[in-house]
Structure 1
Amino acid sequence: MTRLLRPLCRGTTYTRLLHLWVPMLVVSVWALIDDTTLWVPAVVLVPLGFVPAVRTGEGVQARLLLTPGHEDAAFSVAPSANRRDRLRTVVWLELRMLLGALTTGVCVWLPVLAVELVRLAVGERVDDIPLLRDAAPHWAYALLAPLPLLALYGAVVGLGALATAGARALLGPSATERLHALEERTERLLERTRIARELHDSIGHALTVAVVQAGAARAANSPEFTDRALTAIEETGRAALEDLERVLGVLRESERPASSRPTLTDADRLLESARASGATVDAEFAGPLETLPGPVSREGYRILQEALTNVLRHAGEVPARVHVRVAEGALTLAVRNPLPDDGAAPGRGSGLRGIRERAALLGGRAHTGPDGAGDWQVRVELPLG
C-alpha cells in the first residue's frame, strides 16, 4: 500500500502535472476567442516546431518539470540542427498537446463525477452528467464515489510517466549530439590523465630531489654541504610550486594556453637539479631544440624529468648519460645509467608507464629496461610531423 501511494509524496508527480497543463493555457485563451475551432492551436504547433530554438525551450522545460533535481542527459537543450530534429520536435509538441488535453479532461471531469455520485447518495438528482441523468438516488452510490478519485490518481501518474517517456524519445540527443558529447568526455578524460602525469612528474621529481638531498646532508655532516643541499631543495621546491600553480591554473581556466609549460630548452634546470642531488650527469644535445614543435618539446621535457627522477630515486648517486638529438624528422632522447649493485630495475610503476603513454600520444615509441651491458636505459623516439 505504501508503494502504491508513494507517487503522492513525490514532487515529480506535481511538476509533471504542471508540465502537461501548460499547453492548455494557450488552448484556454483561444477558447475565449473562438471555442468552435479548438484545433487551431494544434495546427499552429507544426510550423512552430520547425523553429530551432523551440527545441531548446522544450528540452529545458522537460529537465525542470519532468525530471526535476536531475541533470537528465536524455533531454537535449541544443537547438534543432537538422530536419530530423525539427520533425521530432513537431511530433513532441503535438504529443504534449494531446496528453495535456487528456490530463485536463480527467482533472476536471473525474472530480466532478465523484461529487455527483455523492449527491446521488444523499438523495439529490443529477442532471449535469448524461451518464447519471436517469439514475435514481441511492445511498450505494457513496461506495462508488472514491473510484473516480482513484482513477484520477492513476491517470495523473500514468500520463506524467508517458510524457516523460515521450520526451526522452523525441527530445533526446541526436546521433551527432551523442558523438559530440562522447568526444567532449574523451577530451576531459585525456586532460585529466595529462594533468595526473604532470603532477606525478613535477611533484615526484621535486620530492625525490628533496629526499636525496636531505639524506646526503645528514650523512655528510658538513655545514657547507648542508647549505648547498638546502639551496637545491629550495630551488627544486620553488620550481615544483610553479608547476603546481600552472596545473591548478589549467584546472581553473579550461582555455589557458599550454605554452607556459616548460620545454626541452629549459632542460638545464633538470640537469642542475640532478647534479645538485649528487648524480653525475653527462649531457649531450645535438640539433636545434628551439625549432621543435611545442607538444614534442613539452612532452620531451617531462620524459627527461621522469627519467632523471628514476635515476635519483632508484640508482642513487651514479653517473648518468643524457643524449638528446634532433635529426631526420625525429627527436631521440636517451638516458642511461648503471644498474644498482643489487641489480634491481629502477622502477616499473606509473612513471615508466607515463613515459610510454606520452610517447604513444605523439605517435612515437619508448623503450625502458636493461640494455644488456649492465646499464638501465630509457630511450624515446618522437616524430616531429
Structure 2
Amino acid sequence: MPGLLLPLARAVTYTRWLHLLMGSIVPFVCAGIYPGLTRPSPVDWGLIAVLPVPLVLAAAMLPEVRRAEGLQARLMLFPGPQARVRNDEDPGVSAVPAASWSDRARTGVWLVLRLEVGLAVVLVSGQLATLSLVFAGVPVGNPGAVEPLVRMSGAGGAYILLAPVPVVVMIAVTAGASVLMVAAARRLLGPSAKERLAKLEERTERLLERNRIARELHDSLGHALTLAVVQAGAARAAADPDVTDQALETIEETGRAALADLDRVLMVLREPGRPAATRPGLGEADRLLDSARSSGARVDAEVTGPLEDVPGPVSREGYRMLQEALTNVLRHAGPVPVRVRIAVETARLRLEVRNPLTAAATVTATGGGSGLHGIRERATLLGGKARAGRDGDQWLLHVDLPMR
C-alpha cells in the first residue's frame, strides 16, 4: 500500500493526470453535440470515442500543432521546475513544428492516443471515485446520488473499510496510463531523423568551436609566457640595464598582444552571437619574428609570393602555426638559429621552420605535445597536412595548405 500511494507525493503525478484530463475535453465537447451526455449507452460511448478522431487527425496536419503538443508534453509529463525537481535529462520530446508528412502522421497518432487514453482514464476514474463514495455511504444508508457500476445493498459497516480501495486502484490506473503516455510521447513526439542530424551537427559545431578556442588560447598565451620566461632569464643572465630594458619592453608588447587575444576569445564566449574581432594573419608575421629575435634567437626569414593573396582563414591559421612553431623552438631548444620559409604559390601555401636539434630539444623530437597536435589539427581542418620530425641534425616543421 505505501508503494502505491508514493505517487501522491510527486508533483509530476498531478501534472500527468491533468494532461490526461485535457485529452478527454474534445470527446466530451463533441458528445455534447452528438449523441449527447444524458444517460449514454455503451454504443453512445463508442461513438463518443470515435467521432472526434477525424477532427484531431485534421488538426495534426497543421505544423504548429506538433510544437504545441511537444511543449505540453515537456511541461506536464516530465519532472522539471514545475515539480520542484532538478532534472537535467533530455525528455526526448521535440518542440518544433512538423517539417515532414512523417512528423504530421506521428502527431496524428499521438493526438488519437491522447484522446482515447484520456477518455478511458476519465471514465474509469469517475466510476472508481463513485464506487469509493458508495462504499463510504452504505453504512449510513446513503449509497450515493450517482449510480455506480456495482450496486450495494444493506448498511454493513464493513463497506467503509473498502472505501480506500477504489482510490488506490484509480491512482494505479492513472500512474500506468501516465507511463504509457510518457513512452508514447518520446516515440511519437521525439525528434525526427532530420532533427537528430541537425542537433548532432550543432553539437559538433560547438565542440569544434571549443577546440578552436582552446587552440587559440594555447598558442597565444603559450607564446607570450614562453617569451616572457626567455626574456626574463636572458635579462637576469646578462645583468645589463640595456638588456633588461629591452627584455621588459618585449615582455610588455607580447603581454599586450596576449591580453588582446584573451579579450577577443572571452568576448566570443560571453556573447556567442557577436562577431569575433579580427585575428592576426601572416601579414603580421614580422611581429612574431621580431619577438623571437628579441629573445636571442637568430631568425633567418624568407617570404616568397604575395601574402595579401592568401585567403583569410588560411592566413590566420598559418599565423598561429608559425607562432606555435617559434614558441616550441624557444621553449625546447632555446635561443638557437631558426630558418623560416613562407612560400605563397598559385594553389598552395607552404610554411617551413627549421632549427638545430639540441640536447635540450629531445622532448620536442618525440613529436608529442599539444602544440604540434594543434598544428596538425589546424592543417587537417583546412584540407592540408603538417609533419614534424628530425631532418638530419635539425628539427623540421613543414606545413602544406591549400589556398582554396
TM-score (norm 2): 0.89
Q: Verify the 8 A CA contact 2:227 2:295 in the aligned structure 1.
A: yes
Q: Which residue of 1 aligns with 2:40?
A: none
Residue 175 (structure 1) shift: 0.7
Structure-2 separation of matches of 1:144 and 1:3:
18
Q: Is 1:332 matched with 2:332?
A: no
Look up the equivalent residue of 1:331 and give its one-letter code: L
Q: Which of these residues, 357, 364, 370, is aligned with residue 390 of structure 2?
A: 370
SS of the residue corresponding to residue 364 of structure 2 reads coil
Residue 340 (structure 1) shift: 2.0
Q: Is 1:148 matched with 2:159?
A: no
SS of the residue corresponding to residue 362 of structure 2 reads coil
Look up the equivalent residue of 2:382 and give its one-letter code: L
Taking a change above 3 Å as real, the CA distance of residues 190 and 65 of structure 1, as seen in their structure-2 partners, is same
Taking a change above 3 Å as real, the CA distance of residues 277 and 4 of structure 1, as seen in their structure-2 partners, is farther
Structure-1 separation of matches of 2:100 and 2:380:
38
Residue 23 (structure 1) shift: 3.0
Residue 48 (structure 1) shift: 0.7
Matched ranges for 1:90-105 at <5 A: 90-105=108-123
Structure-2 separation of matches of 1:258 and 1:334:
29
Deviation string 1:275-315 (CA, Å, 9 cap, x unpaired) is 11111111100111111112211111110000000011111
Q: Which ranges in structure 1 are unaligned for 5 or more consecutive residues?
A: none
Structure-1 separation of matches of 2:358 and 2:282:
28
Q: Which residue of 1 aligns with 2:94?
A: 76
Taking a change above 3 Å as real, the CA distance of residues 101 and 210 of structure 1, as seen in their structure-2 partners, is same
Q: Which residue of 2 aligns with 1:19?
A: 19
Residue 4 (structure 1) shift: 4.3
Deviation string 1:100-135 (CA, Å, 9 cap, x unpaired) is 112222332212111101222334456743544363
Q: Verify the 8 A CA contact 2:74 2:93 in the aligned structure 1.
A: yes
Q: Is 1:165 matched with 2:165?
A: no
Q: Which residue of 1 aligns with 2:58?
A: 47
Q: Verify the 8 A CA contact 2:344 2:350 in the aligned structure 1.
A: yes
Structure-2 separation of matches of 1:380 and 1:16:
60
Q: Is 1:221 matched with 2:232?
A: no
Look up the equivalent residue of 2:284 and give its one-letter code: D
Structure-1 separation of matches of 2:336 and 2:144:
104
Q: Is 1:61 matched with 2:72?
A: yes
Deviates more, 1:148-157 or 1:40-49: 40-49
Q: Verify the 8 A CA contact 2:110 2:184 in the aligned structure 1.
A: yes
Structure-1 separation of matches of 2:391 and 2:272:
42
Q: Which ranges in structure 2 are unaligned for 5 or more consecutive residues?
A: 37-46, 81-86
SS of the residue corresponding to residue 135 of structure 1 reads coil
Q: Verify the 8 A CA contact 1:284 1:322 in the aligned structure 2.
A: yes
Taking a change above 3 Å as real, the CA distance of residues 204 and 12 of structure 1, as seen in their structure-2 partners, is same
Deviates more, 1:214-223 or 1:78-87: 214-223
Q: Is 1:321 matched with 2:332?
A: no
Deviation string 1:135-171 (CA, Å, 9 cap, x unpaired) is 3332232232221011011012111111111111110
Residue 53 (structure 1) shift: 0.5
Q: Is 1:383 matched with 2:394?
A: no
Deviates more, 1:130-139 or 1:156-165: 130-139
Q: Which of these residues, 217, 222, 232, is aligned with residue 250 of structure 2?
A: 232
Q: Which residue of 2 aligns with 1:204?
A: 222
Q: Verify the 8 A CA contact 1:123 1:139 in the aligned structure 2.
A: no
Taking a change above 3 Å as real, the CA distance of residues 20 and 128 of structure 1, as seen in their structure-2 partners, is closer
Deviation string 1:329-363 (CA, Å, 9 cap, x unpaired) is 11110111112245624362100111111111112
Residue 178 (structure 1) shift: 0.7
Matched ranges for 1:121-136 at <5 A: 121-125=139-143, 128-129=146-147, 131-133=149-151, 135-136=153-154
Look up the equivalent residue of 1:381 and give its one-letter code: D
Structure-2 separation of matches of 1:324 and 1:349:
24
Number of residue equivalences: 384
Q: Which residue of 2 aligns with 1:106?
A: 124
TM-score (norm 1): 0.93
Look up the equivalent residue of 2:394 and give its one-letter code: D
